[in-house]
Structure 1
Amino acid sequence: MGLIKEFKDFAVKGNVVDLAVAVIIGAAFGKVVSSLVNDIIMPPIGLLVGGVDFTDLVVVLKEAYIDPAGEEINAVTINYGTFIQFAVDFTIVAFAVFMIVKVINNLKKKEEAAPTPPPPTVNKTEVLLEQIRDLLKEK
């Protein structure tokens, strides 16, 4: 019975719930960033480089051929275009995350730098009354 209670205490701790929420939001954010990269940013870049799709860039080390048994043997290639695509995706994702963190940090700084309200002003009558009170206490 102690093991079940211990597991329950662990599973409903704030840190575990926070982590679960972070993973879910992170997965959703990953989809948004992937769409940003693939659907918005990469098409103009592809257009700038002449409509080249980076993933199609390869170096053929050995051409495809048909062996004597009639079986097709695939070509051996180095797919450097896929690497370029992933490197560009990573750079864009890293930059997007950096910008989001920068905005959040700026919002935190503004919140922290918010001016503290001035201390309440005491009018002269209140000060005089306090002095009279203090004098009466001394007697």
Structure 2
Amino acid sequence: FGKIVTSFVNDILMPPIAMLVGDSKFAELKVVLKEAVLQGEEILAPAITWNYGAFIQAVIDFLIIGISIFFVIKAMNSMKRKKEEAPAPEAPPAPTKEEILLTEIRDLLKKD
């Protein structure tokens, strides 16, 4: 499930957002805090960057997974509540006056 969400975010959701921002890959958005130290074409010290694009992508992954789990658990709890609220079988109706009278007559006849 996590890989599906990651693919959805990376391949479906982020390209239009990257297009709006003006960068080709959203995950590569960053702020350069310190430039790389170069000597000719050789890099002596790499640049220090704050990679906020990758972080935003991870947050969106987390939110989609969290919301999905929330709705699954909510649906399960709803089904569980419906089972618990099922009406209990009704008690048999109380005997009518006529039945009570007939029962008393039967009991009196048995004594004799």
Q: TM-score range by the shorter chain?
A: 0.5 to 0.7
User: In the alignment, what sits opposite 2:65?
Assistant: 93
Is 1:74 aligned to residue 42 of structure 2?
A: no
CA apart distance, 1:111? 0.6
* Alignment correspondent of 1:35: 3
Show CA shifts across 1:16-44 (max 9, x none): xxxxxxxxxxxxxxxx2x12321234422
Greater length-normalized contact order (CA 8 Å, ≥ 6 residues apart)? 2
RMSD: 3.3
Unaligned residue ranges in structure 2 (runs of 5+): none
The structure with more strand, counted as a fraction of residues: 2
TM-score (norm 1): 0.57
Counterpart of 2:82, as a letter, is K
| Aligned with 2:56 (options 84, 87, 98) | 84
TM-score computed with the length of structure 2 as normaliser: 0.68
Whose radius of gyration is greater, 1 or 2? 2
Contact residue 30 and residue 53 of structure 2 kept, 8 A: yes
Paired residue total: 104
Structure 1: distance between partners of 2:108 and 2:64: 72
* Percent identity between the two aligned chains: 36
